[in-house]
Amino acid sequence: METAQATVTRSRYQARPGRAALVATDLAVLAGPATGIVELPTRLFWSAPDRRFDLSDEDSLHWLYEIVLREASRPEDLTTYLNGEILTAIWPAIWVPAGVRQAWEDRHPQLREAARRRPHLGHSAA
């Protein structure tokens, strides 16, 4: 997917050992669903038989975003499952590895600012 390739960059920060964090170059390209049920592919979420997430449930929504931000290995993982407006709104409340948080906040200072305005226990230390 040519468009997706141009909208995501590999960070120097790691999502986990051996995997660079993927970061959207513009939050507007994150056009994933804002409502409904989302089912993740096994390559993103393999630890439970039910890979569906209800976006109307806050815990389920946060869990989906945390998984995708941590496990994304392809640009379309971000552009298909994440929504830029939702990401900005829930950023202070989600827990992601420090490398993921640093990569996204370096690229999108508005996320860092949102976290400063509304710190949350789920916020990882950078």
Q: Give 55's DSSP letter.
A: T
Q: Hey, what are 97's tokens? A: 């590895």
What's residue 5's pLDDT?
52
Domain boundaries, the chain: 2-117
pLDDT surpassing 50 at residue 88? yes
Under 8 Å between Cβ of 99 and 11: yes
Cα 18 off chain centre by: 18
Instruction: List pLDDT tens digits, range 70-84.
Output: 999 999 999 999 999
Q: In the structure, what pLDDT confidence band is assigned to residue 27 with cuts at 50, 70 and 90? A: very high
The pTM score is: 0.86
- Across 36-51, b (16+ Cβ under 10 Å) vs e yields eebebeeebbeeeeeb
Under 8 Å between Cβ of 8 and 78: yes
